[in-house]
Structure 1
Amino acid sequence: MRWSLVEASLLLFAGALCGGIAHAQIRAQTKPEAKHTAVGAHYEINGVVVSSIDGSPIPHCRLTPTLVAQGVFGSRRFPSSTDGSEADEHGRFSIPLPSAGAWNLRASARGYVTQSYEEHGAFSSAVVLTADSPEIDLRFKISPEASIKGLVLDEAGEPVRDAQISLFIVPPSSPGGPPANTGSRTSARTDDRGMYELANLSPGGYRLSVRARPWYAEVSQQSGIAVAGSPVDPSLDVAYPPTWFPGGSDVATAETIVLHAGDTRQADFHLVPIASIHLKIAPPLGGVGGANVRQGQAIPIVEEIMPGANAPRLVSVATHRDPQGEFDVGGLTPGLYQVRIPGQDGRSTVVDVAANSVRPLDLDAPRNDIARVTVHIDGFAGDTEEAGDRRGRGLRVNLIDTDTQRGTFSSAGEEGGFAGRRGSRAPSAESKESKDRIIEVPPGRYEVVLQGGSNIFLTGLTAKGAEASGRYVTVPAGETTLTVHVANGRANVSGIAALEGKPAVGAMALLVPITIEEPDSIDFLRQDQTNTDGSFDIENVIPGQYILVVIDKGWQINWGDRSTLRRYLTQGVPMELKPSASVKQNVVAQAP
């Protein structure tokens, strides 16, 4: 019989209430703070560095310890008073340390990826030293570096120089569902032979994109702004569209390049130019005394919103201005752009540019192809500096396009204006007073994520002119209002995980909401990795009902099938977290 996650969770909670599962909260010390060295105390990390492929020792590897301290904003790393140590010719090392505490230990060697002890993506295991256990001996595995290299050619088979290659990480499947999108990890440019190389890569999945411009195109020849004159030669009015490996213009068609330790992959690009797209931008209204006079002094700035990028990217364009002050911006390819006018009330707008078009754009006119979302923050319980005031200053609202991966759109964190992608019109007097935020986005479905207040959490969404469900909102073109309901008081869960009576080191610690499979759920799965003493610390948790699970070697499990998580939950520890609770709970780790 196949149970749903919710059914299994409710049954587990019922058993716990009847005494079937004991979940006494234990005052376990986790990730100890640094202590002053006692007289005669000696703290030391010893071990050997070996290759993750064959276990062979890595000579002369450099090891650097960093003290990890706990605070209200989560784990923070501070440089140690030691310069680290170099392993000998057999890979052995011994690092004396000035104090007890949780130490992040990183290893680096020529030809190997620099990484922390037991590193898995964004997680690793701290090396914990105490007065009772002042020394430890480790076997530190690091991976030979992987690389991607290739050649970028134009339509004639000639090398394209100075093309920008961007590398994006594709996270593996996680217990909480589809992996989140990540930004660009690194980039490289082609040389005069059209060649590039991306080195020092960790094992994992990656996607590649390339941006370049034809050397003969008008956008490559123009410097500054030109006065409109004779028509541009169509053979010069061309551009290369952003291209994802192996050759598509849509991120959905991009191939995921899977690298294993020590791999080298070849990824070549062949670029084909298309006709340049033009924006006809009317100068904004303004003038002395508020007269509706078209001002043509400020030059429009055009930035591209790339899938997976953390911020808009300035693009090279060919800009002409006619005697009436209208701007003709050429050199564009299909995609999503932010157009802003500096010095004009910070106004900007988002434009979805289609192929083979000349697109008129008036920043003062209402738009009927873009969703203009007025975001209102509701529910602050206090007015501390950390939380912001009751009107939401200091808190940022992000709308993340998780379906088509077209970008992340954010409100301001300080004064309620727009950060990065602002509304094209000035806020109303009512909007200014209430500090509502205005975000322009393409119509579609977005996940609402809060940022900027570590103790604030989302409790619900309501929308006018849009559809809200759980953490998601679907907005059509036109004006909509989104009310984001929030509250103070995130919780923390810490403890010790043991396996067969010993600390479970490098295990996956999961805090699973019992509503994880419900489409309207606000809660989401949180995770951590256990340290060398088995300790874990899951911070900034939304209050609610959860099941705590620790899985030994959980990083090696294929989480692509959501049902995989269910079999671990029946042996987990149910917990109900109240606002601002700090709960300590020991747990027995499960075998994978």
Structure 2
Amino acid sequence: MKLTSLLRIFSITLLAGYSAGPLAVAQSKAAPARSFSITGTLVNSTNGAPVQHGSLTATFVPRGNAPSRQSPAPIGPIDADDHGRFSISLPSAGMWRLVASARGYVTQSYDEHESFSSGIVLTAASPTLDLRFRIAPEAVITGSVLDEAGEPVRNASVSLFVVQAPRPDAVPPPPRARARTSTDDRGIYEFDDLLPGDYQINVQAQVWYAMAAQQKGFNTANQPPLDPSLDVAYPLTWYPGTDDSAQAETISLGAGDNRQADFQLLPIPSVHLRILPDAATAGDRRMQAYPMIEKLSAGGRLGYTPFSAHIDSQGGIDVGGLAPGRYEVRLQGRGQAVKPALIDVTAGAVQTLDMSAASTMASVSIRIDGIDEAEANSVRVSLIDPGSGRNAARDGAGGYFLRGALLRRGGAEGASRTMEVPPGRYEVVLMGKPNLYLTGITAQSAEAVGRFVTVPSGSSTLNLHVADGRASVTGIASKDGKPSVGAMVLLVPATLGNPAGLNIIRRDQTNTDGSFDLNDVLPGQYILIAIDQGWQVNWKDPSTLNGYMLHGVPVELHSAASVKEEIEAQAP
């Protein structure tokens, strides 16, 4: 209701009060403001026992494309009592996100599954909702990292990854980075606050007793060769003790599990790489470049590699402390262009990388049409490796990315930019402007099929045809005439599996009123599915997904369309 309407009602009531006397004035008093609240019990997800003295916070969630307004401040933290009971008074109706935490438990949103949860929807008709809020006891992985002599390895970098199920297109996604920590002075590490799931761990460290000798010679010439016993390196090691990520053991955690994962690192002879800088700058100390070396794998980038280096009198850079593998090498220095190069480093003789030689990278010129210049300049382009799901390069910031290779922006209007990436097949993804979408790609000296491009070594050009107006799908999922709360909603492209078509499956979780919101959807033809309590369903299995699609709702989305659907949730 508008403010002017409220003032008009107040004026009429005030005049009526003056004409009708004290009784009318008393009757015209405003009714008490309606109160809204969330009540419930916090319980252990494994045994249903009350969780004492947990803390809860409620945050207002704006919905859809409604006009922006100042949202109420978060409410909380509110403590549960000795029996796990809680009551949270809220200032307004709407959708609220409820988060709970307690000592020894994972911090979770209400009915959380993966990155989804159910919002609590309050209305004038339903101003109060009573919940049973289940939170999982935290799982923990701890372990030690020892060297070949059984001594602790300090400051080792330990990384935790979530193992993901294969996608419907049968492409196994790589493990997703979850957390990173370092070992303490006892060589101990710990990952806590973990949800049930499957995990893998790797460790990267420097050989502590060789570090001083290896690093001593940087920026000095004519250094004597290192003692072979000190010219060693630890390979990147996956639990339980392999340098091959395909052989890594998966650690399966249940709620409250405590697992031990210990490492013993074994040094190997260090591999040496001799880098010859660009001939134009070699030997010029004022323009001395520093190497940045990142190890690559079939699953993507493994992070920057610690190494030792020293520079000889000719300006060549001798890099040691490397383990065998594929690396991306860049020289970064004052007044120099960043120039990445790929090299496969093998055990044995010193290998040479000449930065003056023709690049083996793919130099990709990106042009965008279909939108005005200002919008084109604010669009970022990602080249996604379909095997790993990771970015090979990103652009749009006008500078060099450490996790991509944007080299320069060309043209007076800034409509063209050039990237250097490893040759291969990529999916083109637009970022930075959520309402834009890709309608097609025209390629020169490269191959384009749908959203995918294959770029060779050398120069190529991609013309990206872009349009404005993503769509949205909202609605209600019900089961037997009642809202289906916590259902998994999937919007599956009708062209799933076709390399030239859409292959992005959108998901959501229904709220306490059965509602769901899928925004910023690419226009196209889809099948809409809701699975009641379906979070244990292996929807990534093609045959399982096809079974649900047979009973789904076809949806055709045009540019800027806003579609509302009421669907029946299927049994899991």
TM over 0.5: yes
Highest relative contact order (Cα 8 Å, sep 6+), 1 or 2? 1
Provide the C-alpha distance between the structure 2 equivalents of 1:42 and 1:559, rounded to a whole number of angstroms.
41
Compare 324-333 and 438-447 and name the one that shifted more. 438-447
Instruction: Report the counterpart of residue 414 of structure 1 in structure 2.
Output: 397
Q: Alpha-carbon deviations, 1:247-297, whole Å to 9, x = none? A: 22232322222111111222122222222233323334557xxxx985553
Instruction: Report the counterpart of residue 355 of structure 2 in structure 1.
Output: 363
Provide the C-alpha distance between the structure 2 equivalents of 1:169 and 1:329, rounded to a whole number of angstroms.
33
Compare 307-316 and 467-476 and name the one that shifted more. 307-316
Instruction: Report the counterpart of residue 339 of structure 2 in structure 1.
Output: 348
Residues 511 and 548 in structure 1, CA contact (< 8 A), matched pair in contact too? yes
Note closer, same or farther for the CA distance 1:111–1:350 as it changes in structure 2 (3 Å cut): farther
SS at match of 1:481: strand
Note closer, same or farther for the CA distance 1:112–1:307 as it changes in structure 2 (3 Å cut): farther
Note closer, same or farther for the CA distance 1:262–1:308 as it changes in structure 2 (3 Å cut): farther
5 Å-filtered alignment, 1:342-491, equals: 342-356=333-347, 357-367=349-359, 370-382=360-372, 388-389=374-375, 392-403=376-387, 405=388, 407-415=390-398, 417-420=399-402, 435-491=415-471
TM-score (normalised: structure 1): 0.83
Instruction: Report the counterpart of residue 130 of structure 1 in structure 2.
Output: 123
Residues 165 and 173 in structure 2, CA contact (< 8 A), matched pair in contact too? no
1:271 partnered with 2:265: yes
1:329 partnered with 2:319: yes
5 Å-filtered alignment, 1:129-208, equals: 129-173=122-166, 178=171, 180-181=173-174, 183-208=176-201
Q: Alpha-carbon deviations, 1:471-509, whole Å to 9, x = none? A: 333333333333333222110111111111111111011
Report the structure number with the largest CA radius of gyration.
2
Q: Alpha-carbon deviations, 1:78-120, whole Å to 9, x = none? A: 6735223111111111000111111110110111110101111
Alignment gaps of 5+ in structure 1: 1-36
The Cα shift of 1:439 comes to 2.8
Note closer, same or farther for the CA distance 1:408–1:336 as it changes in structure 2 (3 Å cut): farther
Residues 347 and 422 in structure 1, CA contact (< 8 A), matched pair in contact too? no
The AA in structure 2 aligned to 1:124 is S
Compare 170-179 and 54-63 and name the one that shifted more. 170-179
The Cα shift of 1:570 comes to 2.5
SS at match of 1:420: coil
Instruction: Report the counterpart of residue 485 of structure 2 in structure 1.
Output: 505
SS at match of 1:538: strand
Residues 172 and 205 in structure 1, CA contact (< 8 A), matched pair in contact too? no
Match of 2:255 among 248, 251, 261: 261
Instruction: Report the counterpart of residue 21 of structure 2 in structure 1.
Output: none
Note closer, same or farther for the CA distance 1:270–1:446 as it changes in structure 2 (3 Å cut): farther
The Cα shift of 1:66 comes to 1.0
Instruction: Report the counterpart of residue 297 of structure 1 in structure 2.
Output: 287
Compare 254-263 and 305-314 and name the one that shifted more. 305-314
Q: Alpha-carbon deviations, 1:118-163, whole Å to 9, x = none? A: 1111111111111111100111111111111122222233332221
Residues 471 and 560 in structure 2, CA contact (< 8 A), matched pair in contact too? yes
The Cα shift of 1:381 comes to 3.1
Residues 549 and 589 in structure 1, CA contact (< 8 A), matched pair in contact too? yes
Instruction: Report the counterpart of residue 44 of structure 1 in structure 2.
Output: 37
The Cα shift of 1:175 comes to 5.8
Alignment gaps of 5+ in structure 2: 1-29
Provide the C-alpha distance between the structure 2 equivalents of 1:363 and 1:176, rounded to a whole number of angstroms.
39
Paired positions, count: 540
Compare 551-560 and 118-127 and name the one that shifted more. 551-560
The AA in structure 2 aligned to 1:588 is E
SS at match of 2:538: coil
Note closer, same or farther for the CA distance 1:363–1:434 as it changes in structure 2 (3 Å cut): farther
The Cα shift of 1:534 comes to 0.7
The AA in structure 1 aligned to 2:402 is G
The Cα shift of 1:543 comes to 0.4
1:242 partnered with 2:225: no
Provide the C-alpha distance between the structure 2 equivalents of 1:312 and 1:567, rounded to a whole number of angstroms.
38
Provide the C-alpha distance between the structure 2 equivalents of 1:309 and 1:130, rounded to a whole number of angstroms.
47
Identity of aligned residues (%): 48
Provide the C-alpha distance between the structure 2 equivalents of 1:59 and 1:82, rounded to a whole number of angstroms.
20
Note closer, same or farther for the CA distance 1:537–1:308 as it changes in structure 2 (3 Å cut): farther
Provide the C-alpha distance between the structure 2 equivalents of 1:117 and 1:358, rounded to a whole number of angstroms.
57
Residues 58 and 74 in structure 2, CA contact (< 8 A), matched pair in contact too? no
Provide the C-alpha distance between the structure 1 equivalents of 2:235 and 2:203, rounded to a whole number of angstroms.
9
Provide the C-alpha distance between the structure 1 equivalents of 2:489 and 2:194, rounded to a whole number of angstroms.
26
Note closer, same or farther for the CA distance 1:189–1:337 as it changes in structure 2 (3 Å cut): same
Provide the C-alpha distance between the structure 2 equivalents of 1:587 and 1:406, rounded to a whole number of angstroms.
31
The Cα shift of 1:71 comes to 6.2
